[in-house]
Structure 1
Amino acid sequence: MSDKALLTLLESAAGYALFEIVAFEEIGSLLEGNKDTVTDLKRFGRAVKLKAFSPFESAQVALENANAISEHAMSDALHNFLEMNLPKKAKKFQLGVIDPGLATAISDGLGVSCRSDDTIREIMRGCRLHLETFVKGLEGGAAAKAQLGLGHSYSRSKVKFNPARSDNMIIQSIALLDQMDKDLNTFAMRVREWYSWHFPELKDIVKDNIMFARAAAYIQDKGSICASGEGVEDKMPGLIEICGDEEIAKAVVAAAKTSMGMDCSPLDMVNIVNFTQRMVKLAEFRKNLSNYLTEKMSVVAPNLSALIGDTVAARLISKAGSLTNLAKAPASTVQILGAEKALFRALKTKGNTPKYGLIYHSTFIGRADAKNKGRISRYLANKCSIATRIDSFSDEPSRLYGEKLREQVEERLKFYETGAAPRRNVDVMEEVAKQLKTDGDDEEMADVETPKKKKKKDKKRKTDDEDSDEEMESPKKKSKSETPKSEKKTPKSEKKSAKKEKKSDKKSDKKKKKRKSSGGD
């Protein structure tokens, strides 16, 4: 152990505690592997003393400090606590902190020498174990309750709601949508079979399952639409509204008059009607869920949904697990996503691998010829990968990239059919970038306040002033053009001319000397 005093910082759910090591001999036994010093309260109490404790004012303050510690940052509460209770001379002590990242933050913020090693961890284990004994008011399970409450609030804060990245809602929605399609199909078959015992002709007239269920729930007893007279409800207008066609409604009424179905008791009819009404409500919920999925996809993955549609895009995200996982996957993985069984079967039997998975349900592959299905699926998977990465990693995604990528796939289909060369991907991306830039500039210009309209006299004055300014500028330009080029000498040209003059002077001096020497001879 060093000669410096040793203090340890304990971060608990109840508050911050500062302990002082008073018996280094007892603590020194920790280095030798003797763990009884920590678990024995008497021996640990002789070695460690509580110097200060600062409880958190509320659960919100505790959560803020826990978040700061998890990010290896020193909060204001911790800064004030250490500043008040640590000795003024930093050279005479060391502060033990269990988290090395927090130790670095404290050392940088307060200039204190910090350490975090195995000895500090053992001391902190003992402090945490005997905290209820050191601090009054934490007896009777108060510390455990504080830890439980802080744990719940901390975990809740980590699971944050992000409307732009709520792909989990898309995964659950598309799974529920697929399940509801199966259930509605099963229920429709059951309604047709059940109600056909009473009115068998209706299933031949009304083909749509949901329309059949609505008509059955509205008609109930087939004799009610044939009855006439005072006090009898006329069901013809409601039947026309359900069927959407007056001719179909008249055919239903005519079939009811000559129906060969059996009569049902009131109790049986009540059960049939209840089931059909339940199915109609389920169909309405399915429609609302589909609209919800469309809106959610326009926020989370607008480019991918614009490229291949909301349903196929949602299935791809669901299969990958999240939008980020789908963005990280290569285009070859996106191409066969959903066809894992066929892929592994082909690898096992050494056969042909599948050409497409979930993207087969997009309209592009169905429109392509048989020989071009594999080529267009590979191209479409490439564009899906680009659109997914734009949606996942851009701050403000828009549908422009998805729409342009869709146009590229259309051009590729035409290329396979007619041979017309499609545009290059670089040119298309540059076009979208320019369009987004112009849209952003237009929005900035719209945000600027437009000045108020002035009177016509002011406009005339402006035009007169502009004309006068133009007249004043024209002679200036002429005067500039009239100046000779010889007058416009740059500094470099002046230097060159000066050097030439010096050389000529030297040559003339040499000639004079030669003449003098020849005359003397």
Structure 2
Amino acid sequence: MQSFWFGDKDEDGVFRPFKGDIQESLARIKELSSLGYVVLAEPDIAIEAGMFSDRREYLSALRKICFAHAEEKIKDYYSQEDLELVQMVRMLDEMDNVINLMTERATEWYLVRKPGFSRKYKNIPAKKMLGQMKREKGTGLGYLAGHIEKLADERTRLMKAISAMAGNLAPNCSELVGGLVAARLISRAGSLKELSALPSSSIQVIGAESALFTHMRAKTPPPKHGIIFQHRRVHNAPRPVRGKVARVLAGKLAIAAKIDYYTGSYNEEFICGAQERIDRTLYGADYEKKAGDKDKRGGSE
């Protein structure tokens, strides 16, 4: 028997038309595709079977089904839980750019008003600098400084919301590197599904694309880490072992992303083993010594 989206043709050549609306036709196409049947055909077959009067009518019906399929795909895409997280991270990055640029311009403005302050402003944190500007009450600068502070507060609230959402969507990745770093990895990959499909070597250098392309083009030393450098165990690691720590952490993240995507639940056994493996790489012989001392204390007790 031959099956098409508009009907079936048995061994005797008898054609049985499929009668249904657009959504039912779309469901039929999906079902036949999963079974390996040929679901599309030349218009002549449908016209000969009496389903359509001419080629134009056939293509019009098929066009409506294709539009319905596209709408369904778009709806499925935007219903992904991690899509909102991706947009939140991108908004956070934009807010960082805006805050930094506005603070820099406001500082230049302030130095024009207070030339004698220029020698020491570089050693003052941005938040304290904005406080200095806010004292210029009744001026455009003071008003602007207040708005920059409010924007910075909103940025902090958004960061906490991102970390909380990442903890729910990717509990294992968040436990390994923190919610914000996990969210940035998901954002750069495009989704948790995409992140779970990446090898550890790619996860290790996510965020270091410029350095990677420079290495490939100009044969400079390859980057050892990207976004995961923001995690304390990487950026606090001694330089000789920093690359090893980044590699081990990326390997564990690749597994954690798969657990998060396919199960969505926290795996305590995996996290404990991963943390131990990372610590062993980070501290080396010192870790073995600490573990031995701990076992001795446990035995004496």
TM exceeding 0.5: yes
Partner residue, 1:159 = 77
Q: Which residue identity does 1:409 align to in structure 2?
A: I
Distance 1:210 1:151, change over 3 A: same
Q: Pick from 162, 165, 180: which aligns with 2:95?
A: 180
Secondary structure at the aligned position of 1:286 is classed as helix
Partner residue, 1:300 = 169
Contact 1:306–1:399 (CA under 8 A) maintained in structure 2:
no
Distance 1:10 1:359, change over 3 A: same
Secondary structure at the aligned position of 1:396 is classed as coil
Q: Find the aligned partners of 1:201 and 1:367 in 2 and give their Cα distance.
A: 38
Secondary structure at the aligned position of 2:185 is classed as helix
Q: Find the aligned partners of 2:70 and 2:205 in 1 and give their Cα distance.
A: 41
The alignment status of 1:321 with 2:190, answered yes or no, reads yes
Secondary structure at the aligned position of 1:159 is classed as helix
Partner residue, 2:127 = 210
Partner residue, 1:189 = 104
Contact 1:412–1:422 (CA under 8 A) maintained in structure 2:
no
Contact 2:259–2:265 (CA under 8 A) maintained in structure 1:
no
Query: 1:310-332: CA deviations, max 9, x gaps?
Result: 33322322332322222222222
Secondary structure at the aligned position of 1:397 is classed as coil
The alignment status of 1:381 with 2:250, answered yes or no, reads yes
Contact 1:303–1:391 (CA under 8 A) maintained in structure 2:
yes
Distance 1:202 1:173, change over 3 A: farther
Q: Find the aligned partners of 1:277 and 1:422 in 2 and give their Cα distance.
A: 52
- Report the CA distance between 1:158 and its aligned residue: 3.4
Query: 1:54-110: CA deviations, max 9, x gaps?
Result: xx6xxxxx54x255324327xxxxxxxxxxxxxxxxxxxxxxxxx895989xxxxxx
The alignment status of 1:68 with 2:27, answered yes or no, reads yes
- Report the CA distance between 1:351 and its aligned residue: 5.6
Contact 1:364–1:376 (CA under 8 A) maintained in structure 2:
yes
Q: Find the aligned partners of 2:71 and 2:275 in 1 and give their Cα distance.
A: 45
Distance 1:318 1:293, change over 3 A: same
Q: Pick from 369, 392, 397: which aligns with 2:238?
A: 369
Contact 2:224–2:243 (CA under 8 A) maintained in structure 1:
yes
- Report the CA distance between 1:403 and its aligned residue: 5.5
Partner residue, 2:295 = none
The CA RMSD measured in Å over matched residues stands at 4.4
Distance 1:68 1:147, change over 3 A: closer
Q: Find the aligned partners of 2:52 and 2:79 in 1 and give their Cα distance.
A: 37
The alignment status of 1:336 with 2:295, answered yes or no, reads no
Secondary structure at the aligned position of 2:48 is classed as helix
Secondary structure at the aligned position of 2:52 is classed as helix
Contact 1:336–1:358 (CA under 8 A) maintained in structure 2:
yes
Structure with the largest fraction of helix: 2
Secondary structure at the aligned position of 1:127 is classed as coil
Secondary structure at the aligned position of 1:387 is classed as helix
Q: Which residue identity does 1:293 align to in structure 2?
A: I
Secondary structure at the aligned position of 2:289 is classed as coil
Contact 2:25–2:65 (CA under 8 A) maintained in structure 1:
no
Secondary structure at the aligned position of 2:194 is classed as helix
Partner residue, 1:272 = 141
- Report the CA distance between 1:184 and its aligned residue: 0.9
**Who wins on radius of gyration, i.e. which is larger?**
1
| Structure 2: runs of 5+ lacking an equivalent | 1-8, 293-301
Distance 1:122 1:348, change over 3 A: same
Query: 1:391-432: CA deviations, max 9, x gaps?
Result: 122143356644652343224322254653879xxxxxxxxx
Distance 1:278 1:66, change over 3 A: farther
| Structure 1: runs of 5+ lacking an equivalent | 17-55, 57-61, 74-98, 105-114, 133-140, 222-265, 424-521
Task: Provide the aligned length of Structure 1 versus Structure 2.
Answer: 279
TM-score (norm 2): 0.70
Contact 1:300–1:391 (CA under 8 A) maintained in structure 2:
yes
The alignment status of 1:127 with 2:135, answered yes or no, reads no
Partner residue, 1:9 = 17
Q: Pick from 277, 283, 287: which aligns with 1:408?
A: 277
Q: Which residue identity does 1:69 align to in structure 2?
A: R
Distance 1:278 1:8, change over 3 A: farther
- Report the CA distance between 1:185 and its aligned residue: 1.5
Distance 1:345 1:116, change over 3 A: closer
Distance 1:197 1:363, change over 3 A: same
Q: Find the aligned partners of 1:174 and 1:116 in 2 and give their Cα distance.
A: 42
Q: Which residue identity does 2:160 align to in structure 1?
A: N
- Report the CA distance between 1:127 and its aligned residue: 0.3
The within-5 A match list for 1:118-517 is 120-123=45-48, 127=52, 129=54, 150=68, 154-155=72-73, 157-159=75-77, 161-163=79-81, 166=82, 168-198=83-113, 207-213=124-130, 216-217=133-134, 219-221=135-137, 269=139, 271-348=140-217, 352-397=221-266, 401-402=270-271, 404-417=273-286, 419-420=288-289
Distance 1:384 1:3, change over 3 A: closer
Q: Find the aligned partners of 1:406 and 1:334 in 2 and give their Cα distance.
A: 18
Q: Find the aligned partners of 1:4 and 1:200 in 2 and give their Cα distance.
A: 96
Secondary structure at the aligned position of 1:420 is classed as helix
Kindly indicate whether structure 1 or structure 2 has the higher relative contact order, using CA contacts under 8 Å at least 6 residues apart. Answer: 2
- Report the CA distance between 1:5 and its aligned residue: 7.8
Secondary structure at the aligned position of 1:373 is classed as helix
The within-5 A match list for 1:26-105 is 63=23, 65-66=24-25, 68-72=27-31
Q: Find the aligned partners of 2:253 and 2:155 in 1 and give their Cα distance.
A: 27
- Report the CA distance between 1:186 and its aligned residue: 1.6
